[in-house]
Structure 1
Amino acid sequence: MKKTRGKIPKTRKINREGSYNVVRIGASNNHWRDPYHVLLTLCWYKTLGLISFGYILANALFALAYLAGGNGIENARPGNFLDVFFFSVQTMASIGYGAMYPKTLYANILVTIESLLGLMGLAMATGLMFARFSLPTARVLFSHVAIITPYNGIPTLMLRVANERQNWILEAQVRVSLVRTQITKEGDLMRRFYDVHLLRSHSPLFALTWTIMHPIDESSPLYGVSTEEMVEDEMEVIVTFTGLDETVSQTIHARHSYIPKQILWNMRFVDILSKTRDGKRSIDYSRFHDVMPIDN
């Protein structure tokens, strides 16, 4: 493999966490410019906490607005915040117990506004919950490390993937790319992508495990590359997985990456496939990431 011209400037800090951890200088870091996307990507407890906080805050603001209009709620104690707060909750949720009701024009106008906003808020919260539940997710497990080991006499890059669900993934496809930092003849620093040829990149049915293999021959972008070069050129192996989930009939995606310290040489994966006494195939996921020296 032809080596790059020049070296990476020493002032450039190597990113040890892969390509996904990027500092965007000059771009807006305000994620709330796209609130729908943020609410879809937040973890569940943060989403539920945010919705709960917004619900309580909205009712508290309407309660203060009711208090500002004087004694406009029948059967509510004058100046009592809790009474008007719970009246707001009944109004926004369209409960309407009937114990408290508006008796002034000001209170009726607030009830009208709050009912409209409550219906809109309920519709948006319902849509958000449905969108989160209906998002197709992949339970595809990638090995924590990749290895370079001889296979049929040829050094081969290997990594493992597994389907953690008890179903089939149809038309599964894996694509592997090598990313490295290089300097052009003009001295420009660039991140270049190289396609990595696989012995098998497609599986019509994927249910158990799959060992992804790339022979490092003369046509490979990894040919003649050492560990030191991997670190110096900030190399990274990026793996993308796509397939059709048989249960929901939707396309699922998964991705993973390996930086130089996660690529081990002269090791092999521990065998995890076996059969039970009654002849059924079994997978030992507890040893899915384990490797051992090839001498053993």
Structure 2
Amino acid sequence: MLPFPPFRKRKYSRQKPRSGYSSNQFWIKFNIEGLDAWYHHWREPYHLLLNIPWKYFIILMSIFYFVLNGGFALAYLFGIEGIENAVKGSFGEAFFFSVHTFSTIGYGNMYPTTVYTNILVTLEAFVSILGIALITGLAFARFSQSNAKILFSDVVVVLPYNNVPTLMLRVSNQRRNYILEAKIRLYLMWDEVSKEGNFFRRVHELKLLRDYSPTLAMTWTVMHTIDENSPLYEVDIDTLKRKKALLLTSLSGIDESIDQTMYARSSYGFQDILWDHQFQDVIYHTTDGHRYIDLSFFHQTKPIDS
């Protein structure tokens, strides 16, 4: 399944300015293999820190904390005699004095005694207020985000439904709660050339048999009928390949657990469309009349009977 543009997995890359471009006309993009599909511009650090995985957020905050305290420790070294009971020339003593100041822990046997050291303490105390406020705000913003746990099928199938070719994909909620007022949209994006010979990338919204569900708790098979009104009518795989077709799907709803709107999306290339296939069933019945879902077969398909 193709990732949503521009979220493509690629190795770390640095984009250098071309000749004639000023420094403010380019930016650094990066992506690291194994970190899912995230990258951002360094000029947008807020979005970067909101979207990177938690472990890398903690690593970055730890680096910020130690680098900042290390910088102040170097400044304290120039006036180490202004710190009572500190060993002269000891970076460790200056570093821990900085940690005490930054964290407002309070001083024990070490405390400032000179004007230079008190000025640094005042400056670090101010920086610590801003730093703690920013880190707390970022952590709260990350915790308050509504992250969807929606599972999209790896492929899209086309098979007859009521004697009409129908395109189908499958979605499921991976959490044990309900998504209320769920809505889904399906779009077809491909290359077109107008009658005047102008090339452009066009997006068609595909009409669905049902694009709304009051509650999404188990699975949902999304269906688009390929009839005379569909842009996919009488289109074969070679046409989709030539036009570089891409299916885009987006789902929104209200997460009942936190009462916030959530969004999820996925995309499919022409090679992800399986003709004359159907999804394997994932809903099973127990002997006592209950139903359960086995998501281990969620992505599996099989050819339809002739």
- Structure-1 residue corresponding to 2:163: 153
- Structure-2 residue corresponding to 1:47: 57
SS of 2:106's equivalent?
Answer: coil
- The Cα offsets for residues 181-202 of structure 1, whole Å up to 9 and x where unpaired, read as 1122333221101110111000
Matched, 1:260 2:260: no
Tell me the distance in 2 between the aligned counterparts of 1:34 and 1:20. Answer: 16
Q: How does 1:76-95 map to 2 (within 5 A)?
A: 76-95=86-105
Distance change (3 Å), C-alpha of 1:157 and 1:283: same
Amino acid at match of 2:184: V
Report if the CA contact (8 A) 2:3-2:266 is conserved: no
Select which of 32, 38, 42 maps to 1:32. 42
**Structure 1: which 5+ runs fail to align?**
1-15
Select which of 52, 59, 76 maps to 1:66. 76
Tell me the distance in 2 between the aligned counterparts of 1:136 and 1:256. Answer: 17
Tell me the distance in 2 between the aligned counterparts of 1:282 and 1:293. Answer: 24
Matched residues, percent identical? Answer: 47
Report if the CA contact (8 A) 1:18-1:236 is conserved: no
Distance change (3 Å), C-alpha of 1:165 and 1:18: closer
Tell me the distance in 1 between the aligned counterparts of 2:204 and 2:229. Answer: 11
Distance change (3 Å), C-alpha of 1:110 and 1:18: closer
- Structure-2 residue corresponding to 1:292: 302
- The Cα offsets for residues 97-135 of structure 1, whole Å up to 9 and x where unpaired, read as 422101111101100110110111001000000100110
- Structure-2 residue corresponding to 1:75: 85
Select which of 184, 200, 203 maps to 1:193. 203
Report if the CA contact (8 A) 1:71-1:79 is conserved: no
Distance change (3 Å), C-alpha of 1:77 and 1:18: closer
More off after superposition, 80-89 vs 186-195: 186-195
More off after superposition, 150-159 vs 41-50: 41-50
- Structure-1 residue corresponding to 2:216: 206
- Structure-2 residue corresponding to 1:4: none
Tell me the distance in 2 between the aligned counterparts of 1:192 and 1:128. Answer: 38
Post-superposition offset of 1:212:
0.3
- Structure-2 residue corresponding to 1:122: 132
Tell me the distance in 1 between the aligned counterparts of 2:103 and 2:122. Answer: 13
Post-superposition offset of 1:19:
4.0
Q: How does 1:226-245 map to 2 (within 5 A)?
A: 226-245=236-255
Report if the CA contact (8 A) 2:277-2:301 is conserved: yes
Distance change (3 Å), C-alpha of 1:49 and 1:21: closer
For CA contacts below 8 A with separation 6 or more, give which structure has more relative contact order: 1
Matched, 1:162 2:148: no
Tell me the distance in 2 between the aligned counterparts of 1:53 and 1:263. Answer: 45
- Structure-2 residue corresponding to 1:20: 6
Query: What RMSD in Å do the two structures reach over aligned CA positions?
Result: 1.9
Tell me the distance in 2 between the aligned counterparts of 1:97 and 1:17. Answer: 53
Amino acid at match of 2:6: Y
Distance change (3 Å), C-alpha of 1:65 and 1:212: same
- The Cα offsets for residues 169-189 of structure 1, whole Å up to 9 and x where unpaired, read as 111001101111112233322
Select which of 108, 125, 143 maps to 1:133. 143
Distance change (3 Å), C-alpha of 1:209 and 1:244: same
Post-superposition offset of 1:213:
0.4
Amino acid at match of 2:134: M
- Structure-1 residue corresponding to 2:257: 247
Amino acid at match of 1:241: L
Post-superposition offset of 1:168:
0.7
SS of 1:239's equivalent?
Answer: strand
Equivalenced residue count is: 281
Tell me the distance in 2 between the aligned counterparts of 1:21 and 1:166. Answer: 28
Report if the CA contact (8 A) 1:17-1:259 is conserved: no
SS of 1:122's equivalent?
Answer: helix
More off after superposition, 180-189 vs 106-115: 180-189
Report if the CA contact (8 A) 1:18-1:259 is conserved: no
Report if the CA contact (8 A) 1:176-1:195 is conserved: yes
SS of 1:102's equivalent?
Answer: coil
Tell me the distance in 2 between the aligned counterparts of 1:221 and 1:185. Answer: 17
